[in-house]
Structure 1
Amino acid sequence: MQIPGRPRVEIVVPVKNEENDLGPNIRRLREFLDTAFPFPAEVCIADNGSTDATYEIGALLALELPGVRVVRLEQPGRGRALKKVWSESTADVLAYMDADLSTNLNALLPLVAPLFAGHSDVAIGTRLSNGSRVVRRPQREFISRSYNLLLRATLGAQFSDAQCGFKAIRADVAQRLLPLVEDTSWFFDTELLVLAEKAGLRIHEVPVDWVDDLDSRVAIARTVGEDLRGISRLMWTLGRGQLELDPVRQAFGRPRILDPRTALAARVLRFCAVGVLSTAAYALLYLVLRQGLPAQVANVLALLMTAVGNTALNRRVTFGVRGPENRWRHQLRGLATFGIGWSLTASSLWLLHTAVAAPHQAVEITVLTLANLAATVVRFTLFQTWVFDDDAPALPAFEPPAVLDQTRSN
């Protein structure tokens, strides 16, 4: 039974074209809240862009069930629905869950309790911890784990499961964070969590029992594309220092505590992620240029064309250097390291063509990629100790060839 006078929870259920399952699932949720949840709670059905009878069914449920209301948004987008309802709510704790109720409702109290206690600022359900019990298709499992590994590599995320549809946030924290979140669709969750983490807020994780909805209509390919674009945008925005997170951190007295080992590991992962993108760009450019140019010329041009972009990305994303100050110095130092990459790839090509008269282009690409990876460790050390260190001597300790930087794979 609910205990009067406790802080209130509002649970948002974003829906789009859920006319078949909405009624049974909302009744089930409302019954659980009335009989097994100790805090007064309201359910908000947030219909975003349905073209079937979802909204009409939601309106009937709101009339039938006390503690249920419905909101209609003409445009689709889970993030848009959550942002609107959370921004206007008067509850102390704001939560949301998927309409299919894939997550066992017994996890709701462990989700919100740390927020009421003031111990945590945001809480998420996780399907990827050892204590979770999950039934879902191998394809979905693989995509989920890969996505969260990508978040660790690119954005230094420490939370384990960005997209589980089972989350809660304190209302005062939401009022600070929501204006900073740009995405209105599936990437909304990830962006909110990354910003919370960067602001030093505490994210509580709850292992959940979760059963995959076989009737899920999530367009995986489109969602993956949106998420990748969201990651790129967020990397760019954070790298340029365009988000003012210090006021959020100061408002809640949550200084970000960084373990130097964790910080270095995150830097290495970001460096590797930039390297993978740069290597792919280099390989593509080399293949295009190789159609009409000799191998050595195509190699040099492809390296030069990816060098500037790689240094700029590492400057902002990997090493967190912001603003225009010393930008050209960093670029020139970055280009200087090109000599290492060029000499490695050039000698590799020379050795290959010495050993094989007319090697296949696939073999050329393989040899060049391996040579490029061999230079990565040296380049990371130079980036760490010289390229972006403005107190370093004007010239490196070695004499590079009279070429520019191999900033392509890292």
Structure 2
Amino acid sequence: MSTAITTPAAATPQPKLTDDACRIASNTESTYGSTGLTGLTGLTGSTGSTGMAGTAYGAPRTGIVERVGESRPVDADIVIPVYNEQEQLAESVLTLMNHLASSQIEGWAYTWQIVIADNASTDDTWAIASRLASQYPGRVRAVRIARKGRGRALKLAWGESRAKVVAYMDVDLSTDIHQTGTLVGTLVYGFADVAFGCRLFDDSEVTRSAKREFISRTYNGMLRMLLGASFHDAQCGFKAMTASAARHLLPYIQDDEWFFDTEMLLLAQATGMRMYVFPVRWVEDPGSTVNIPDTVRKDLKGMWRMNGTLNRMRVAATA
């Protein structure tokens, strides 16, 4: 297989998973490949109106207006979605790239490419992303998307990926990047279909304001109570899926913004995918530009919509 980065010959065998290092949120045997998506039949996919030709997972290519670098058949594409992040983009990408390049000789071993997904920035973010992709061909590529929305950025960047695993993390690197091996390696080595970090486990190490802690716990409690979610943290910006899982899920995820994560996990759970969840070390970025009231409003709207979707899936599954 042609790859951007060669796995060092000295890499050690993959670590074994341990009970105290993870939580499995669904059955150990995945069934979605044959029967798990039956309940989605008849639902409208998020890209159904724009067409699905020309991409791996159904995302319309027309949403990407410019590219620097080529998608490569690596083990993992690690996407960093950005909007007006000229101040920290270069430092974050270089920090992540150096970590990935130096960490392959121990623990999880996998090939990778960093993908900067600029969704309609109005500052110098795209110029910086383009320069990074040009300076580090094979390790970094960049795509520019015409419209805002983290979910849209992930659909489009993941949609043209040639990797075995598609992942993403926030540009502020709030989650400890030393846990990237767990996020990606879990899927590369076949232990799960979906992997993500959780900030709400007792053994997670989290530094954030009391306000955001309260909002997060309330939101995730509502997901468990109203929608039957088996996971505890839907919105931690540290997630990954196998290529197969992405092909199955992305065409059905309707949200293009912050609710994308929640919808992805709810559909993965409902279709029987193996979900690997682990505690993370996470530090809040004080400069975060997330509009909390607007996000809460859209999350509640998304929960109402997903309640109907999940009910229709249950009915279809028992028909």
Same fold (TM over 0.5): yes
Q: 1:205 aligns with which of 277, 289, 314?
A: 277
CA distance, structure 2, for counterparts of residue 243 and residue 82 of structure 1: 30
The answer (yes or no) to whether the contact 2:110–2:188 under 8 Å persists in 1 is no
After superposition, give the CA deviation of every residue in 1:243-271 in whole Å (9 maximum; x if it has no partner): 97x6xxxxxxxxxxxxxxxxxxxxxxxxx
After superposition, give the CA deviation of every residue in 1:341-395 in whole Å (9 maximum; x if it has no partner): xxxxxxxxxxxxxxxxxxxxxxxxxxxxxxxxxxxxxxxxxxxxxxxxxxxxxxx
1:74 alignment counterpart = 146
Deviates more, 1:38-47 or 1:212-221: 38-47
Q: 1:90 aligns with which of 151, 157, 162?
A: 162
Q: 1:52 aligns with which of 94, 114, 123?
A: 123
CA distance, structure 2, for counterparts of residue 78 and residue 99 of structure 1: 12
- The Cα shift of 1:18 comes to 0.2
1:186 is paired with a residue whose SS is: coil
1:137 alignment counterpart = 209
1:102 alignment counterpart = 174
Deviates more, 1:16-25 or 1:3-12: 3-12
2:243 equivalent to 1:176: no
After superposition, give the CA deviation of every residue in 1:126-178 in whole Å (9 maximum; x if it has no partner): 11112210000100111111110000011100011100000010011100111
After superposition, give the CA deviation of every residue in 1:197-224 in whole Å (9 maximum; x if it has no partner): 0011111012111000000000000000
Report how many aligned residue pairs link the two structures: 247
After superposition, give the CA deviation of every residue in 1:74-98 in whole Å (9 maximum; x if it has no partner): 1000000101111110000110000
CA distance, structure 2, for counterparts of residue 226 and residue 2 of structure 1: 43
User: Which has the higher relative contact order, 1 or 2, with Cα contacts under 8 A spaced 6 or more apart?
Assistant: 2
Amino acid at match of 2:145: L
CA distance, structure 1, for counterparts of residue 314 and residue 218 of structure 2: 28
2:88 alignment counterpart = 21
After superposition, give the CA deviation of every residue in 1:11-54 in whole Å (9 maximum; x if it has no partner): 00000000000011111011111111331110000000111110
Do the aligned partners of residues 242 and 17 (structure 1) sit closer, same or farther apart at CA in structure 2, a change above 3 Å counting?
farther
1:96 is paired with a residue whose SS is: strand
2:299 alignment counterpart = 227
Amino acid at match of 1:209: R
Do the aligned partners of residues 48 and 242 (structure 1) sit closer, same or farther apart at CA in structure 2, a change above 3 Å counting?
farther
1:240 is paired with a residue whose SS is: helix
CA distance, structure 2, for counterparts of residue 212 and residue 243 of structure 1: 41
- Over the aligned positions, Cα root-mean-square deviation in angstroms equals 2.0
CA distance, structure 2, for counterparts of residue 24 and residue 13 of structure 1: 13
The answer (yes or no) to whether the contact 2:196–2:240 under 8 Å persists in 1 is yes
Where in structure 2 are the equivalents of 1:7-406 lying within 5 Å?
A: 8-37=75-104, 38-66=109-137, 67-241=139-313
- The Cα shift of 1:64 comes to 1.3
In structure 1, the gaps of 5 or more residues are 247-320, 323-410
After superposition, give the CA deviation of every residue in 1:290-318 in whole Å (9 maximum; x if it has no partner): xxxxxxxxxxxxxxxxxxxxxxxxxxxxx
Do the aligned partners of residues 110 and 241 (structure 1) sit closer, same or farther apart at CA in structure 2, a change above 3 Å counting?
closer
CA distance, structure 2, for counterparts of residue 2 and residue 145 of structure 1: 41
2:70 alignment counterpart = none
2:241 is paired with a residue whose SS is: strand
The answer (yes or no) to whether the contact 2:110–2:185 under 8 Å persists in 1 is no
CA distance, structure 2, for counterparts of residue 243 and residue 12 of structure 1: 35
In structure 2, the gaps of 5 or more residues are 12-73
Deviates more, 1:36-45 or 1:180-189: 36-45
The answer (yes or no) to whether the contact 2:192–2:276 under 8 Å persists in 1 is yes
The answer (yes or no) to whether the contact 1:237–1:243 under 8 Å persists in 2 is no
1:12 is paired with a residue whose SS is: strand
* Structure ID, larger Rg: 1
Larger helix share, 1 or 2: 1
1:3 alignment counterpart = 7
CA distance, structure 1, for counterparts of residue 180 and residue 235 of structure 2: 17
The answer (yes or no) to whether the contact 1:180–1:243 under 8 Å persists in 2 is no
Percent same amino acid at aligned positions? 47
- The Cα shift of 1:116 comes to 1.9
CA distance, structure 2, for counterparts of residue 107 and residue 220 of structure 1: 27
CA distance, structure 1, for counterparts of residue 315 and residue 297 of structure 2: 23
CA distance, structure 2, for counterparts of residue 155 and residue 242 of structure 1: 12
